[in-house]
Structure 1
Amino acid sequence: MGARAAGALRAALALGLLAAARPGPAPREAELFLEKYGYLGKPGTGTHSPAEFTEAVRDFQWVTHLPLSGVLDPPTLHQMALPRCGTADGERRRAPRRRRATQHGGRWYKRHLTYRVVNWPPYLPQHEVRLAVRAAFQLWSNVSSLLFWEAQHGPADIRLTFFHGDHNDGLGNAFDGPGGALAHAFFPRRGEAHFDSAERWSLRRGKGRNLFIVVAHEVGHTLGLEHSPVKRALMSPYYKKLGKDFVLSWDDILAIQNLYGKPSKGLATQLPGKVFTDFQDWSTDLYGGDQQQRSLSAYYCHSFFDAITSDADHNLYIFKGSHYWVVSGSGNASDPQPLHTRWPGLPAGIDACAWSQLTSRFYFFKGGRCWCYTGSSLEPGFPSKCSSRGLPRHPDTALYFQQLRRLVLFKGSKYFVVSEESLSLEPYYPRSLRDWQGLPPGTAGALTHKHGSIYFFRDDQFWQFDHLKLQVVASGKWATQLPWMGCWDANAGQVLF
C-alpha cells in the first residue's frame, strides 16, 4: 500500500467512516441525516458549528441507545444506515421525561375517527392488507378512548397512501426504494401516512418488511405522537420486531392516554406481538396453562373475525385466519380448530361464509373464487371462479336469506342475490344497500339467530335486523352484549378478556 493510500485510510479511520457491519453515510451525508430527522434544526438551515454537530450526534446516540461519544463511530454510522421511519424525531434533550404530544399539530378534538387506505402495495392481497390496517388502528383504540371506522370511499380523517419516489412532499421526503425511510406521517389534523410502494412489504413472519408494524407506528404519528426514546416502544424511530411481548410499551400507552384518555371501561386490552406476525395464519402455542388456554379459546373475542355463520342446530362457526371456532347454542366456545381438518382444501383468510338452510351446505368465498362443501366433502366442480358469473370479488358478507330462499352477498354499498343451484346472479341485481334500512356497508359476517332476527357484524359492533320490518332494530357491542357469541363467562359473571 502506498503512502498516499495509507494516509487516506488513516484519515478515514480517524473520521469514523468505516462501519463495522456495513457502510454508513459520509460526514456530509450524516449531517444531512441529522438535519432531516430534527437533530440540527430544520433542513437547509446552513453550516453548523463543530459543537452543534457533536451535540446532535450525542442526541441521536441517546435516542438510539448508543454510547454518548458525540463521534461518528462505526456503531453510530451503522444505526443511521438502518431502515427507519421518515418522520423527524423532534427536539431531543437528555432531560426529565416530558409529554410526547407533538407540538406540530396537537391532537384530534373528537374521539371517533375514520380512516381510508387510498391505494395498495403491490403483490399483497387487499383483504389481508385491510385486516392488518384494521388491527393497527385497533391497537390504539384498545388502550385509549379512540374509535376508528374504515371509509372505503370518499373523505376520511386519516388517509394511508403508497407512493414511489418523489410524491410532492419535498425531495427530502422522497422514497428511495427498499431500505432507508420506509414511511412517514403527518400529525393532526392533516391525518396522512405515506409508505414506500417499492419496499418489500410482507404480512408473513420472517419475510420482507412487516407492513403491520410500520402502519401501526405511522398511525401513532397521525394521532399526535412523536418518536419515543424507549427502545422497545412501538413509537421508537426504528421499527420494533414482533415477539412474545406486547406491541405497545407502557411508554406508548401513557403517551396516547395523555392525549385522549383511557378506554371507556378504564381497562387497556393488549395481545402479544406474536399474534400479529402472520395475517393469514397464527400459531396455537401462544399461551400456556389453564387461564391462558381459556383466553386462547376466546381469542376471536379480542378483535375482529373474517366470517361467521350458523347451522341448523344453532351452532356458530367463527372464522379467523386458518382456524375456526364452534360456539354451541349455550354459548360455550370450542378451542380453535384448523380449517383444513374440517374443510380440506379451503384456504385461510376467507372473505365470507354462509350455511344454507335449504341444502345444509357450507359456501365459502375468497377473492373471485368460491367453495361448496357437504359435510367435509368438496362438491364436484369446486372451487369455482364465481366472479365470472357476476358475483363480487372479495365479498364482505354472505348470508342465506330464508325469505328469498337464496344466498345474499354484500359488497360495499350493494348487495347481490344469488341462485344456490347455479351460483349465478339473479336478474335485476345488484341493488343498493338502502333496501336493508339502517345496515352499514362493510360488514364482516351475518347469521340468522334461532329467534328469527338476522345479526350483522363489523369490527366489535353488531346490528340486529328484523326480517319482517326490513330494518335494523338494535345495535351494540357483540362481545359484551350477546352472551351466545361465546365471549361471556356465565360462571365468573364477566367478559373473557
Structure 2
Amino acid sequence: MTRGAGRAMGAAWVLTVSVISAAPLLLEPEVFLEKYGYLHQDGQAPNAVALRSAVCTFQWLSRLPVTGELDGATLRQMSTPRCGVSDEGSQQIWAQRVNAVFTGEGGSRRRRRRSALRAEKWYKRHLTYQMVNWPRHLSLGSVQLAVRAAFQLWSNVSGLVFQEAPEGPADIRLAFYEGDHNDGASNAFDGPGGTLAHAFLPRRGEAHFDRAERWTLNGHKGHNLFMVTAHEIGHTLGLEHSPVRHALMSPYYRKLGRRLLLSWDDIIAVQQLYGKPVGDHPVRLPAQVLHATLQEWEFTELHNERRTAGQPLYCRGVFDAITMDQNRTVLVFRGSVYWTVSADGDVSGPLALRQRWADLPLAIEAASFSPLDSKWYFFKGKRMWRYAGNTLDPGFPRQSSDLGLPRHPDCAFYYAPLGHMVIVKGSRYSVLNLRSLHQEPYYPRRLADWTGVPQGTNGALTRPDGRLYLFREQRFWRFDPVKVRVTGEGQWAKDLSWTGCSGAPRSNNIL
C-alpha cells in the first residue's frame, strides 16, 4: 500500500468507525486486515475487490453474515480484544481438516501451512514447559495451577504429555511483556484491549502475553488467564484459528462459562496432529467444574499470600469494586473475597463474599453502599442485588434492563450532589433513582460530563470530605463535586493511606 493511499483510505474508514462502532478501533480497518493476514503487504494500495474479499474472509472466520461490507457488526468485531496470531491460512486448513474427517484420512494427512519453513508439529509426544514470569496481581501458586490445567486440557484429548520444567530449558515458554519485545513491530503489544497475546508454532515454542492487560483467573473483571493460555498453547502445538462457534481456538477468546472448554473442532484438530489419548477416550472437563476449582485455588492462595507477603493481594494493583459503609469502613472486593479497612487503617481479610451476602454470585463487577437507604447494591452481568445488612431484599436480584441500566457495569457509587446512584459503563453513565428503582430521565449521558474522569474505572467511593475517588488499575483520580472536575491523581496503593496499602512492602518475585 502506498503511504498516500493508506492515509486517504484510513481517514475515510476511521470516520465510519467513530459513527458505527461501539468501541474505538485500535487499527484502521485496512491495517487490521493486513496485520491479521487478510491483505498481503505488497506495497500497493488494495483495490475494492481485494478489500471486499478480505472482509468476506474475516466475516466468515468471525461467524458474521458474509456481506463484504464494513457494517457496524464487522467494525465492532475488529475492535474486540483478540489473539495476535495471524488468521492467514485458517480457512484453507479448516477445510482440509473437515475434508479429512469425511474422507477418513485423519492424522495421516499432512496439513499444508502458509510457510514451508515452519514445522507442522512437534515430533515427540512428551513436552516440557516453563513459566518465565507471571502477572504481579496474581499469586504464583494459583497461576501455576491454572497453567497446569491449561496444558492438561490438551493432554486429556490427545496423545501428548506435558511436564513443567521450572528451571528450564523447556520446549514451550510462557512470558509476559509490554510493547515491543523483540518479536518485530507487528507483534508489539498495544496495552489494554487490542491484542492480548500471541504464540509461535512448534519448534520455537513460545507464548507471549501483554503484561499491561488485566488478567484474572476466576471469571470476574479482566481477561481470563486460563482461557487465553489454553488458546495460545493450541498455537504452540500447531493449531490455527477455528471458525466454529464456541471453539477454544477462535481468534476471539472465549469466556469461562458453562460450555465444555473444547469444541469438537478443537479436539479433531489436535488429534489429527498427535493422535488420541491412551484408551482412545478423551477426558473433557466441564467448564463449571474448572470455574469452581479456580475459585477455590484463588481463595486458598489469597490466604497464603496474606501470611507470607504481609499485605493484602489487592495492594498489588487490581480489584473488582470498592465502597465505604456508614462507619467509614472501606470494603475492597476481588473475585470471591473481600477485605475491610477500618477508619483507623486496620485491614481484615480476605473474607468469603458469600458468607456475608449468601445469595451473591461467585464474583461481582460493581458494588456500592448507599447512605440514603443504608442498603448494599451489587452488580454482575445483567442483574442487580440489594441487601439490608446481610439479608437480600424481597424481589431481588432484578434484571438491569428492567431498571434501565447497562449490563456489566464498570463501577457504581452513590453521588450525594445528585441524591442518586451513578453506574458507569464505558463512555457513558446512568443515574438510578433509589426510591423508584428506575433510571432518571435523559440518561444515560456521556462520561465527558465528568471532566478528567477516564473510561474503564473499576471502582469509586466518596470520602467524608465529599470528594469522589475513582480507580483504574494502579491509579486513582480525585473528583471535586464543587469544581466538577478532576483535581488530582496518583497511585492509590502508595498515596492513599485509607486503602490499607500505604507503605506496604512489595515482593521481588513478581512483575
Q: TM-score range by the shorter chain?
A: 0.5 to 0.7
The reply on whether 1:234 has 2:236 as its aligned counterpart is no
4+ residue segments displaced more than 6 Å:
11-14
User: Given residue 49 of structure 1, which amino acid in structure 2 is its aligned partner?
Assistant: N
Q: Conserved in 1, the CA contact under 8 Å of 2:17 and 2:25?
A: no
Please state if 1:167 is matched with 2:184.
no
The answer to whether the 8 Å contact 1:114/1:157 transfers is yes
**Residues 432-483 of structure 1, C-alpha deviations (whole Å, 9 max, x = no match):** xxxxxxxxxxxxxxxxxxxxxxxxxxxxxxxxxxxxxxxxxxxxxxxxxxxx
Specify the SS of the correspondent of 2:19. Answer: coil
The structural deviation recorded for 1:79 is: 0.3
Instruction: Tell me how far 1:264 sits from its aligned partner.
Output: 1.2
Deviation string, structure 1 residues 2-57 (Cα, Å, up to 9, x no partner):
xxxxxxxxx8799565224233367xx1111111111113x465322210111000
Structure with greater helix percent: 2
Q: Which residue of 2 aligns with 1:21?
A: 22
The 1:280–1:54 alpha-carbon spacing in structure 2 relative to 1, beyond 3 Å, is: closer
- For the structure 1 residues 81 and 112, does the alpha-carbon distance in structure 2 shift closer, same or farther, using more than 3 Å as the test? same
Aligned to 1:70: 68
Q: Equivalents in 2 of 1:278, 1:123: separation in Å? A: 20
Shift of 1:93: 4.6
Q: 1:12 to 1:117 in 2, by over 3 A?
A: closer
Aligned to 1:193, the other structure's residue is in SS state strand
2:34 paired residue number:
35
Which of 332, 348, 353 pairs up with 2:300?
348
Q: 2:48 maps to what in 1?
A: 50
Please name the residue that 1:84 is paired with. Answer: 82
Cα distance between partner residues in 1 of 2:34 and 2:178: 23
2:114 paired with 1:115: no
Q: CA RMSD in A?
A: 2.9
How many percent of aligned residue pairs carry the same amino acid?
A: 54
Cα distance in 2, alignment partners of residues 144 and 270 from structure 1: 11
Q: Residue in 1 aligned with 2:269?
A: 255
Aligned length: 284
Greater CA radius of gyration, 1 or 2?
1
Q: Residue 97 of structure 1: SS of its match in structure 2?
A: helix
- Which residue, out of 172, 192, 215, partners 1:178? 192
Query: Counterpart amino acid of 1:163?
Result: Y
TM-fit CA distance, 1:365: 11
Structure 1 residues not aligned, in runs of 5+? 1-10, 283-320, 323-346, 353-363, 370-497
Give 1:179-328 correspondences, 5 Å limit.
179-277=193-291, 280-282=294-296, 321=297
Alignment of 1:309-458 (within 5 A): 321=297, 348-349=300-301, 367=308
Query: What runs of 5+ residues in structure 2 fail to find an aligned partner?
Result: 1-11, 99-110, 311-511
**Structure 1 residues 201, 278: CA separation in 2 closer, same or farther (over 3 Å shift)?**
farther
Contact 1:59 1:92 in 2 (8 A): no
Quick check: 2:79–2:194 contact (8 Å CA) kept in 1?
yes
2:172, 2:92 → 1: CA distance? 32
CA contact (8 A) 2:90 2:240 kept: no
Contact 2:202 2:238 in 1 (8 A): yes
The 3 A distance-change label for structure 1 pair 138 and 118 is same
TM-score normalised by the chain length of structure 2: 0.52
Question: Contact (CA 8 Å) 2:61, 2:91: kept in 1 or not?
Answer: no
1:223: how far off? 0.3
Distance 2:88 2:13 in 1: 30
Q: CA deviation digits over 1:336-363, x for unaligned, max 9? A: xxxxxxxxxxx624999xxxxxxxxxxx
Judging changes above 3 Å, is the alpha-carbon distance between structure 1 residues 268 and 367 closer, same or farther for their aligned structure 2 residues? farther
Asked if the contact 2:139–2:302 (Cα under 8 Å) also holds between the matched residues in 1, the reply is no
Name the aligned partner's letter for residue 33 of structure 1: F
How far apart in 1 are the matches of 2:146 and 2:14?
45
Counterparts of 1:261 and 1:44 in 2: how far apart (Å)? 39
